[in-house]
Amino acid sequence: MVGGGFGGLLAVRGLRGADVDVTLVDRQNFYLFQPLVYQVATGSLSSVEISVPLRQIVRRQRNARVLLGEVDGFDLERRLVSVLGLPNDGDTAELPYDLLVVAGGSRYSYFGHDEWAPYAPELKSLPGALDLRDRILLAFEAAETEADADARQAWLTFVIVGAGPTGVEMAGQIAELGQTLRSEYRAVDTRSARVLLVEATDRVLGAFPDPLPRKAERQLRTLGVTPMLKTTVVGIDAHGVEVEDAAGRRTRVSARTAVWAAGVTASPLAGRLAEAAGAETDRAGRILVEPDLTLAGHPEIFAIGDMVVVRGQTLHGVAPVAMQEGRHAAESIRTGTRSPFRYHDKGELATIGRARAVGTIKSFKVSGFVAWVTWLGVHITYLIGIQNRVVVLTRWTFSYVTRGRGARVIHRRSR
């Protein structure tokens, strides 16, 4: 079992009590509740409040063990996974398997512009989110001491690239942060912060059905976010972002803080597995799997989650898909059968700000307060661990009542 995200973890748990020995390999010692990572970036939650040690999760599952390490290759013939042992730097181990489940997930890609990465951290990993938290908070600090008006406005301008759920949620949070901070600064009016949401298509939340994108856009504008649709990013550096509109006109926006939330690509594990198995990958680096989630010609290997495309199906790279695929793989292993995976769409939700959200619940479209409460409920339910649930609920209650942010700590001082 490779990868302790939504898919991998559900696969492990699905094998509880089964007559198999499960080894879960992950680079990190914790499971990260990715849908809330953006709340770490804006100082609403602490990183540990959305993470649970993998060992703790499978503590009572006697047939499972956890190995902290990085998978860097597959030998399908000899049925070996090679693992770089991380605690003891430099150790490599060859792990034999009878059945293999690979769930490496995805990451953001900078469309071939990796030189942008230092100026626009991504929002999928904890280090990215913590880096962003520092940058966002330091930007307000810098604005407070900056005498020049233009330079100050550049510190107070935030560009978010990509208007998927993460980009939208992040934009809403930064706009709200500007409101929250207004009483804490003396020289600067934090409400004058500009939040620009750059999106290449003609709508925000493009994966959601009409009229939700339009509603979300309206809610964002109410919060003070400026969506810049049909606009692509052509350059990012420490002082700003250059964008191009649909007519090909280029504009430079002075902004000291940029956030990357666009262009998902599969984990490199997908490519390595595809190479070993002679399988296809798509443009986003995802490996093609059979309808039963196994690799063609390798019924002993399952690949699931964000890093795969299921033959004949179009599925979003969202947590529920990965979770259901994980459960399906476990069930197939447990019963020794292979059957086609079918996704049960229970809906999708994106929150935009305090008491604002849009989404679908089964086939109903919801927005506003109802959607927001549902979003809260769903996220609390799927957070692992009672302790995290209580702590996160506490923080959210305080945020709701006081509009405060409980986790605004700048760890690193360098920018």
182 vs 192: CA distance, rounded Å:
9
355 vs 250: CA distance, rounded Å:
36
Based on the shown chain and the rule CB under 8 A, indicate whether residue 56 belongs to the binding site for its own copies.
yes
Instruction: For residue 119, give Cα distances in angstroms to 113, 129, 136, 204, 241.
Output: 11, 13, 12, 23, 9
Based on the shown chain and the rule CB under 8 A, indicate whether residue 97 belongs to the binding site for its own copies.
no
Smallest gap from residue 124 Cβ to its own copies (A): 15
Residue span binding its own copies (CB under 8 A) among the ranges 55-63, 105-113, 166-174, 330-338:
55-63
Catalytic member of 122, 169, 290, 325: 169
Mapping DSSP onto H, E and C, the string for 375-403 reads HHHHHHHHCCCHHHHHHHHHHHHHHHHHC
Q: Which of 275, 299, 394, 403 binds its own copies (CB under 8 A)?
A: 394
Q: Which of 13, 16, 18, 46 binds its own copies (CB under 8 A)?
A: 46
CA 55 to chain centre: 22
Is 348 annotated in the active site?
A: no
The helix (run of H) or strand (run of E) holding residue 178 is: helix 165-180
Based on the shown chain and the rule CB under 8 A, indicate whether residue 380 belongs to the binding site for its own copies.
no
| Contact criterion met (CB below 8 Å) for 104 and 286 | no
Range 6-45, binding its own copies (CB under 8 A) = 27-30
Tell me the site size for its own copies, rule CB under 8 A: 62
Q: Which of 34, 281, 324, 388 binds its own copies (CB under 8 A)?
A: 388
Smallest gap from residue 188 Cβ to its own copies (A): 11
Based on the shown chain and the rule CB under 8 A, indicate whether residue 234 belongs to the binding site for its own copies.
no
Q: Which of 185, 364, 369, 400 binds its own copies (CB under 8 A)?
A: 185
CB-wise, 142 or 330, nearer to its own copies?
142
Range 114-153, binding its own copies (CB under 8 A) = 126-127, 130, 137-139, 141-142, 144-146
Based on the shown chain and the rule CB under 8 A, indicate whether residue 91 belongs to the binding site for its own copies.
yes
Instruction: Kindly give the pairing relationship between strand 157-161 and strand 347-353.
Output: unpaired
100 vs 345: CA distance, rounded Å:
26
Which residues contact residue 299 at a Cβ distance below 8 angstroms, ignoring those fewer than 6 apart? Answer: 292, 338
319 vs 6: CA distance, rounded Å:
6
Based on the shown chain and the rule CB under 8 A, indicate whether residue 53 belongs to the binding site for its own copies.
yes
| Contact criterion met (CB below 8 Å) for 210 and 162 | no
> Catalytic residue numbers?
169
> Contact residues for its own copies (CB under 8 A)?
27-30, 46-49, 51, 53, 55-56, 59-60, 65-69, 85-89, 91, 93, 126-127, 130, 137-139, 141-142, 144-146, 181, 183-187, 385-388, 390-391, 394-395, 398, 404, 406-411, 413-415
